[in-house]
């Protein structure tokens, strides 16, 4: 998802370092699966299909988690902003159809606000690189599916099953 879909005429802001801390905090607040999908895509530049295969997730789930990462830290994104994020991610999917590309073009042409929101989404994707480096600094996201992503529920369930087996209550 690193290639730009539309040519941008707006450079990145010079005060980007000021917002990096806020973006990093917003990314840290995402669910672990969303962080992992985002980092594999942004830092390792894996295509959505490769991320889905690597994590054992459906492609649509990867898309949903990527949209969640793109919108992280934005105070209640408006309609065009949310739609632009969904379009940005969907257009990177290997499953995108020609009809969807036509629908995107119609959406883009329907309002100047749509074009502005899409440009802002592309700029946001670019601005997330530095916070992504900080978040994925130790490479934790490459270790496969996060076992503790359910807040320890998977460990508790496994321990509970082991106790039941040991007590002979599970047949």
- pLDDT tens digits for 55-89? 999 999 999 999 999 998 777 777 899 999 999 99
The answer to whether residue 73 is domain-embedded is: yes
Contacts of residue 40, Cβ cutoff 8 Å, sequence gap at least 6 = 46, 50, 51, 54, 55, 141, 142
Range of the domain at 46: 16-143
The answer to whether residue 167 is domain-embedded is: no
Which of 69, 83, 85, 71 is CA-nearest to residue 34?
69
148 pLDDT band, cuts 50/70/90, is: very low
Q: What is the pLDDT of residue 145?
A: 58
Q: Which residue has the higher pLDDT, 41 or 5?
A: 41
The answer to whether residue 3 is domain-embedded is: no
The answer to whether residue 150 is domain-embedded is: no
The answer to whether residue 119 is domain-embedded is: yes
Residue 73 φ/ψ, nearest 5 degrees? 80, 0
Distance CA 126, CA 7 (A): 13
The answer to whether residue 153 is domain-embedded is: no
- If one counts the domains in the chain, the total is 1
Average pLDDT, the chain: 81
Q: What is the pLDDT of residue 166?
A: 67
The answer to whether residue 164 is domain-embedded is: no
Distance CA 165, CA 154 (A): 17
Asked if pLDDT for residue 48 goes beyond 70, the answer is: yes
What percentage of residues in the chain have a pLDDT greater than 70? 73
The answer to whether residue 129 is domain-embedded is: yes
């Amino acid at each position: 998802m690193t290639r730009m879909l539309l040519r941008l005429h707006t450079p990145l802001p010079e005060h980007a370092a000021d917002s990096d801390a806020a973006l990093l905090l917003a990314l840290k607040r995402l669910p672990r699966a969303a962080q992992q999908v985002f980092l594999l895509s942004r830092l390792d530049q894996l295509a959505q299909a490769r991320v889905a295969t690597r994590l054992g997730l459906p492609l649509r789930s990867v898309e949903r988690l990527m949209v969640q990462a793109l919108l992280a830290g934005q105070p209640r994104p408006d309609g065009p902003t949310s739609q632009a994020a969904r379009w940005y991610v969907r257009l990177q999917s290997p499953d995108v159809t020609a009809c969807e590309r036509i629908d995107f073009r119609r959406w883009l042409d329907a309002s100047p606000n749509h074009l502005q929101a899409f440009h802002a989404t592309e700029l946001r994707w670019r601005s997330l690189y530095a916070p992504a480096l900080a978040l994925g600094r130790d490479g934790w996201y490459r270790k496969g599916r996060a076992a503790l992503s359910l807040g320890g529920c998977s460990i508790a369930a496994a321990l509970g099953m082991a106790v039941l087996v040991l007590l002979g209550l599970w047949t």
